[in-house]
Structure 1
Amino acid sequence: MLTTLCFDADDTLWHNERFFQMTQAHFATLLADYMESDDLADRLLAAEKRNLGRYGFGIKGFVLSMIETALDVTDRQVPGHVIAKIIAAGHDMLAHPIDLLPGVADTLAKLAPKYRLIVITKGDLLDQERKIAQSGLGEAFDGVEIVSDKTRDAYIDIFARHETSPETTLMAGNSMKSDVLPAIAAGAWGVYIPHGVNWKIEAADPPDDQEKYREAREFTELPKIIAAIEHSM
């Protein structure tokens, strides 16, 4: 039987990427006189990829990448008021209230009595702690892990720290690259829950040949998928 269920946070438990998309659209309007929105999006994505090793994942790194891109595409002539608006947009993102995805609270309440529940999320420590606190879900979880990146070794360390066997552990999330593939590589079950609005950097092909891979159409399908997995064990 499964003993431990792990969950991604952003775009698995609550909305997140849509706020990045909205801010990026605002960014495009601020720089409309300098570059077409599609080209600007490509330049911003390239900056984000370059900066992951410097700033990690999250809003602060996103804002710094927007400022860097604005300086780049304007040959460092971007007006100060545009930089101020980019920073203000980042502040708005950091202050945005948490909007849970449909069925998350009820589904966790059903699972909590039977399993150990752990959040495994990546990004800025302060922002992720704020989201968890404001989500109202904190009491449902037995542990919270905020990591700089989700890798096979990171999952192995987390499973060991919580004294849970990978073979009886399941990780569910909306990122194939971060939530599913490395968790399966660490020996756990991986459940992909598509969100619909995904960051291009998180894209990856599904491991259809892996026995421990499952896909849910929405979060509320998890109890049924978990039951089917346990029946096959």
Structure 2
Amino acid sequence: MTAPLVVILAGGEGQRMGGAKPLRMLHGERLVDRALRKARAWSDDVRVALRDRRQIEGVDVPVLLDDPAIEGPLAGLRSALTAAREAGREMVLTIPCDAPFVPGDLAAALEAAIGTNGVALARSAPDLHPTCAMWRTETLDLLPDYVASGRRSLIGFAELAGYAAVDWDSRRFFNLNRPEDLAEAERRLASEVEDVDPASGFDRGPPGH
């Protein structure tokens, strides 16, 4: 099967972080570059969904611009699904630029779980992580009516499409919204006391979820 299109969702303004979130540094690497490094291990076609190209000024990557009429990450998903259809890809994997510890087996595990569903979502029970998801490109056909209804929830759209879920430890989806979160992520990666994998920021241990 052809690799999925991978789209990094980076359209949020990041106001609680002080703006320019994708360009914030973590362990000597910009958040968007960290996400790109992981994404390129999963696919030969990686793009970034943004509200404004200036959000990642100076980053060499194809950009998808969000529909300004749609609020939140649903706008990025719409751009991603449209691009996947144009590229002839059967699936789209989305990840957020501000979750630096997403698991390395995310793409393979979600693709294996999707079955006949429209989407496979990451989960750390009981929480779903709908920005970390593998979507069938054909779910684009469901979006116009969903958007027209006024709904903007990714989980609501996943419920409409039908979803499977794959479980990982919640620390894999640590999200950076505030300066304190960035400091905590830095601590995890720089720790000399804890046995931490520098690539993931996750405590070392047996392979698996």
Given the two structures, how large is their TM-score scaled by the length of structure 2? 0.39
Q: Greater Rg, structure 1 or structure 2?
A: 1
| Structure with the higher fraction of residues in helix conformation | 1
Higher relative CO (Cα under 8 Å, sequence separation at least 6) belongs to 1
